[in-house]
Amino acid sequence: MKYSQPNKLQAVILDWAGTVVDFGSFAPTQIFVEAFKEFGIEVSLEESRGPMGMGKWDHIRTLCNVPEIAERYREKFGRTPTDDDVTAIYERFMPLQIEKIAVHSGIIPGALESIQILRDKGLKIGTCSGYPKIVMDKVVELAEKNGYSPDCVVATDEVPNGRPYPAQSLQNVISLGISDVAACVKVDDTWPGILEGRSAGMWTVALTCSGNALGLTYEEYKNLDKAQLDKERQRIQKIFEGSKPHYLIDTIAELPQVIEDINLRLSKGELPQCS
């Protein structure tokens, strides 16, 4: 039997917060701030955004490794944070996240329309997130009420390793019955999510303005003047540089045009691993 590379896309694997829901990715970031505060540790919203895209325990561990945050913890408790301390913060984070997830559950403008265009082209819609399943169940429930029901959902604790490892995207490939990873696109607003897609051998699309990197509400984003927006795009492009996304766009509203371009490249024999 001879290998035949795909000539068109079969699936899009979408992130959740900052990609399809929660413009600005406020739900997870704000809760990190609140969880640390309950232990008497001040963490800014900007600091909490740093490792966004990782699984939430790993995110907290990474924050605790930041020298400034570790020093605040040492001043409070006389030691730098251990894994047990990380788990204690995580266990406080979880109920706060579940309690407040609905506050930031709105569908990002243009998302439903773009997803419908992709479905009309025959693409399956997979998803994954840095949220664990107990939170994802709530996120999915809220999204369904707002008209969004993907074909597959994979939470970070349903695979051996979360982002930036490829396991969640690859589980989507298996569950959706996709024949080739090169026929998939991973769409995400964080560098760990783009690394996930790259490591899985997929096309990757980084969202520069709807998620964690810009960190603004939709109204704030729309009110930025052109010069400021261009400056922010350049700053965010540098954040994504190391993860090597194939495309950078503002929001998921622009995704259908990217899908057309990828299909054209596939038809010419191009593969994501070669670019």
Cα distances (Å, whole numbers) of residue 35 to 11, 40, 46, 98: 36, 9, 15, 12
CB 242 within 8 A of CB 191: yes
What is the residue-wise DSSP string for 26-50? HHHHHHHHHHHHTTT----HHHHHT
Give the DSSP letter of residue 81: P
Cα distances (Å, whole numbers) of residue 190 to 153, 208, 215, 264: 18, 9, 11, 26
What is the CB-side half-sphere exposure of residue 96 using CA atoms within 13 A? 18
Six-digit token string for 232: 């922010």
Active-site annotation, residues = 15, 56
Within a 10 A sphere around the Cβ of 167, how many other Cβ atoms?
19
Six-digit token string for 94: 């979880």
Order the strands of the 203-207 sheet from edge to edge.
152-154, 124-128, 11-14, 184-188, 203-207, 247-249
CB 249 within 8 A of CB 255: yes
Nearest one of 155, 30, 10 to 104, comparing CA atoms: 30
Give the span between the Cα atoms of 197 and 271, in whole angstroms.
13
